[in-house]
Chains A and B, each alone.
Chain A
Amino acid sequence: MRFGGAETGAAGARGVGSLANQRVWGWGRQPVGETELRRPERLRDLYAAVSGEGTALARGLGRSYGDASFNSAGTTILMERIDRYVDFDPSAGVVECEAGVTIDDLVRHFVPRGFFPPVVPGTKHVTMGGAIASDIHGKNHHKDGSLARHLLDFELLTASGDIVTCSRDENPDLFWATLGGMGLTGVVTTLRMQMTPVASAYVEVDIDRAPDLDRTLELFHESDENYRYSVAWVDGLAGGRSLGRSILMRGNPAPSGDGRGLDVKRRKERSVPKIFPAALLNRTSVKAFNTLYYRRHPRQARGAVQHYEPFFFPLDAARDWNRLYGKRGFTQYQCVLPYEGGRDGLARILEFVRRETRGSFLTVLKRFGPGEADSPLSFPMPGYTLAMDIPWRGAALESALERIDAIVIELGGRVYLTKDARLSAESLRAMYDRLDEWLAVKRRVDPESRFVSDLGQRLGLVA
């Protein structure tokens, strides 16, 4: 490891110091890239970091799973310190902040004021810049859509060095290309977002146990519209008649009263040791866990009151749980299948993964509502979305996942790029039929391909 600043000087050519030749990876811990890191603390440091020669990419907290968050061909800009609130209007519930502000930060400061972020992922450790670049969805997608729907506008630092306001009315093509655009249109510097008013920090949760896939989907269709939040944990290792057995966890914001206030619970996050023996996490242990977990839940439970923290962010209880998969890491395969043909597609994929890979150790299923018609690369579309965490096993797994890609393409579905580490450029084109529109915007705002990521190179998103 070499410290760039010693050679270039603290104020070096690009404002602040840098760290050269740093190994970086995403949440899946593979693939590993090598990049120059910069960490601006001022907007002017950020501008300096993208001006000058070479390529650059913004990185939030690296919670995307594959190679979306780093640029081995040049500089990776850590956005974590561009994290200031700029304005808050309590009457309108609109917050304006810089892109490095995290969901963790937002809940901590706004739950006590009676507001919740409109869309949250399964971890609170993501930045708003990363959330926009992925156009994230939450357990409320079937009701509230993806993040895009709740954004008023944002400012984008583009390759020309200009700061461009992007909204539905101003530079709309850039607005829609940046949502889901994986950081390749520029760097989001600030944004304005509509927060959701809440009466308490709690959720009223209903639990339903479904013995197989058909019952799972039946429950979704019967009653999902009664719930703001809906998700199903699936036992990815169960086969035969139990294929697709699941626990549905669905809920609505709880009213205040009965001791339910606007409290922020600060859990102490446990840490997984740096060298966790990955052998402990294997098919047998997960299978045993899944069976216990499935049985531990009642067939049906109604109205249990749960704080938002364990309901939305259960995995944050252990900070570095990705270490459980050891040095080789893992991948998450998340796809969406349109409702038509979706049931059979899910069954085929679940069965295939169970047989042809080490198995999915964590499997989550939910229903999407309408997607964002104007956004060429935004992931959600009406259908079932299935996410599977699979231990990484090189070429053998890659070819297995390619066969799942084929099923997804056949059914008119797509893969979520922020989880992806291995899709091919051809499959991307088959899944995102408006790719060319996105590429046209990219060529226009970034003709020299200054914004580059490893994912972008792999998928042909950068020239």
Chain B
Amino acid sequence: MSEGAKGSVLILGATSLIGRATAAAFAREGYDLMLASPGGPELEHVTADVAIRTGAAVVSLELDARDTASHAGFVRRAVEAAGGELSGAVLNFGLGGDAVCAREDMSHAEEILRVNFVGAASVLGHLANYFEQRRRGFIIGVSSVAGDRGRQSNYVYGSAKAGLSAFLQGLRNRLHHAGVTVVTVKPGFIDTRLTYGKVSPKMAAAPERVGAAIVKAVKKRRSVVYVPGYWRLIMMIIKAIPEPVFKRLNL
């Protein structure tokens, strides 16, 4: 494949609107792209779409977050397909799930934890080892404001994202010494299928905002970014509410 001047970025969960926007934002910066998702026609269409819209060289790879045994091989194949070197990786996959269903059906709760935390930690672990050895590059983890405080409305998802945020925090500390940037991205309400029907589309930010924020965070070597930025303030307030008060709230 043709090597862009800046090398390749691997995007996990590329079929989501946030993933597509992130791919487009990196393509504009001159990167080649490797797009991963569970596969099928969605991945095929997104791969063709990103290539046609951006003109970047695009490769697709199948990845199931739940199949942790496959992750070592997956990262190896991704590096090979990138021509031996990856510039960075964005972990964007996630499972919103159904919070109501997850109260009754523990297998659904487990699925949410497996994709958002166990699967994420597993593939991030392999990527971390690769980048640590390479001694440069970046890892972006898309977590969520939902991980900043557990709320009755979606604490299963929230706890998985809280775990992911803590995992990324530790990774950032570890990889700092290898010169690798690790960014935790915490979107608030983004206008995608995850929030459609739950949050007024008017209150949700465009997915492109996340793509732009990620590219900027890489350039500025940021640690934790909220998207849109005002969520940092909102979450600061929400986190400051004492637990005896918080538990009475209807959030």
Write the residues of chain A forming the contact surface with B, with a CB cutoff of 8 angstroms: 3-6, 8-12, 16-19, 39-45, 81, 84-88, 98, 109
Contact (Cβ within 8 A) A43 B41? yes
**Within the assembled complex, what's the spacing in Å between the Cα atoms of A84 and B199?**
25
CB < 8 Å neighbour of B197 from A3, A41, A98: A3
Contact (Cβ within 8 A) B200 A3? yes
Closest chain A residue to B45 by CB distance? A84
21 contacts between A and B (CB under 8 A): A3-B197, A3-B199, A4-B197, A9-B101, A10-B99, A11-B101, A16-B193, A16-B196, A17-B196, A17-B197, A19-B197, A41-B193, A43-B45, A45-B193, A84-B48, A85-B48, A86-B44, A86-B48, A86-B49, A87-B48, A87-B52
B140 contacts A by Cβ under 8 Å: no
Which B residues are in CB contact (< 8 Å) with A5?
A: 196-198
Contact (Cβ within 8 A) A85 B99? no
Closest chain A residue to B15 by CB distance? A42
In the complex, chain B residues 93-122 whose Cβ is within 8 Å of any chain A Cβ: 96-101
CB < 8 Å neighbour of B45 from A16, A39, A98: A98
CB distance from B122 to the nearest CB of A (A): 24
CB < 8 Å neighbour of B196 from A39, A42, A44, A87: A39
Contact (Cβ within 8 A) A84 B46? yes
B128 contacts A by Cβ under 8 Å: no
Which A residues are in CB contact (< 8 Å) with B199?
A: 3
B62 contacts A by Cβ under 8 Å: no
Known A6-B198, A9-B98, A16-B193: A81·B17 in contact at CB below 8 Å: yes
Which A residues are in CB contact (< 8 Å) with B46?
A: 84
Contact (Cβ within 8 A) A3 B98? no
B194 contacts A by Cβ under 8 Å: yes
Contact (Cβ within 8 A) A10 B48? no
In the complex, chain B residues 162-198 whose Cβ is within 8 Å of any chain A Cβ: 192-198
Which A residues are in CB contact (< 8 Å) with B49?
A: 84-86
**Within the assembled complex, what's the spacing in Å between the Cα atoms of A109 and B52?**
8
**Within the assembled complex, what's the spacing in Å between the Cα atoms of A11 and B101?**
9
Contact (Cβ within 8 A) A10 B42? no
Which A residues are in CB contact (< 8 Å) with B200?
A: 3
In the complex, chain B residues 184-225 whose Cβ is within 8 Å of any chain A Cβ: 192-200
B53 contacts A by Cβ under 8 Å: yes
With most chain A CB atoms within 10 A of its CB, the pick from B49, B196, B199 is: B196
Contact (Cβ within 8 A) A10 B45? no
Contact (Cβ within 8 A) B198 A3? yes
**Within the assembled complex, what's the spacing in Å between the Cα atoms of A17 and B100?**
13
In the complex, chain B residues 29-48 whose Cβ is within 8 Å of any chain A Cβ: 41-42, 44-46, 48
**Within the assembled complex, what's the spacing in Å between the Cα atoms of A8 and B98?**
9
Sort A-B residue pairs by CB-CB distance and give the 10 closest, nearest first: A17-B197, A5-B197, A84-B49, A9-B98, A5-B198, A11-B98, A85-B52, A84-B45, A16-B193, A41-B193
CB distance from A82 to the nearest CB of B (A): 9
Closest chain B residue to A9 by CB distance? B98
Contact (Cβ within 8 A) A19 B98? no
Which A residues are in CB contact (< 8 Å) with B42?
A: 42-44
Which A residues are in CB contact (< 8 Å) with B17?
A: 41, 81
CB < 8 Å neighbour of B194 from A10, A19, A44, A86: A10
CB distance from A416 to the nearest CB of B (A): 31
Closest chain A residue to B52 by CB distance? A85
Closest chain A residue to B95 by CB distance? A11
With most chain B CB atoms within 10 A of its CB, the pick from A12, A18, A39, A84 is: A84
Contact (Cβ within 8 A) B53 A109? yes
Contact (Cβ within 8 A) A10 B98? yes
Which A residues are in CB contact (< 8 Å) with B53?
A: 85, 109
**Within the assembled complex, what's the spacing in Å between the Cα atoms of A73 and B49?**
34
Contact (Cβ within 8 A) B52 A40? no
Known A41-B192, A41-B193: A10·B41 in contact at CB below 8 Å: no
Contact (Cβ within 8 A) B48 A11? no
Closest chain B residue to A112 by CB distance? B55
**Within the assembled complex, what's the spacing in Å between the Cα atoms of A84 and B193?**
16
Which B residues are in CB contact (< 8 Å) with A43?
A: 41-42, 45
Known A3-B200, A44-B42, A85-B49: A17·B193 in contact at CB below 8 Å: yes
Closest chain B residue to A42 by CB distance? B42
Closest chain B residue to A82 by CB distance? B45
Closest chain A residue to B96 by CB distance? A10
**Within the assembled complex, what's the spacing in Å between the Cα atoms of A44 and B37?**
14
CB distance from A138 to the nearest CB of B (A): 23
CB distance from B95 to the nearest CB of A (A): 9
**Within the assembled complex, what's the spacing in Å between the Cα atoms of A88 and B52?**
7
CB distance from B198 to the nearest CB of A (A): 4
CB < 8 Å neighbour of A9 from B45, B52, B99: B99
Contact (Cβ within 8 A) A11 B196? no
Which B residues are in CB contact (< 8 Å) with A42?
A: 15, 42, 193
Known A41-B192, A81-B17: A18·B52 in contact at CB below 8 Å: no
CB distance from B22 to the nearest CB of A (A): 15
Which A residues are in CB contact (< 8 Å) with B196?
A: 5, 16-19, 39
CB < 8 Å neighbour of B97 from A10, A41, A98: A10
**Within the assembled complex, what's the spacing in Å between the Cα atoms of A119 and B48?**
24
**Within the assembled complex, what's the spacing in Å between the Cα atoms of A88 and B49?**
10
In the complex, chain B residues 74-108 whose Cβ is within 8 Å of any chain A Cβ: 96-101
**Within the assembled complex, what's the spacing in Å between the Cα atoms of A344 and B65?**
70
Contact (Cβ within 8 A) A40 B193? yes
Closest chain A residue to B154 by CB distance? A10
**Within the assembled complex, what's the spacing in Å between the Cα atoms of A11 and B44?**
23
Closest chain B residue to A39 by CB distance? B196
CB < 8 Å neighbour of A39 from B41, B48, B193: B193
Which B residues are in CB contact (< 8 Å) with A4?
A: 197
Which A residues are in CB contact (< 8 Å) with B44?
A: 86
CB distance from B206 to the nearest CB of A (A): 12
With most chain B CB atoms within 10 A of its CB, the pick from A9, A10, A43 is: A10
Closest chain B residue to A190 by CB distance? B45
CB distance from B211 to the nearest CB of A (A): 15
CB distance from B49 to the nearest CB of A (A): 4
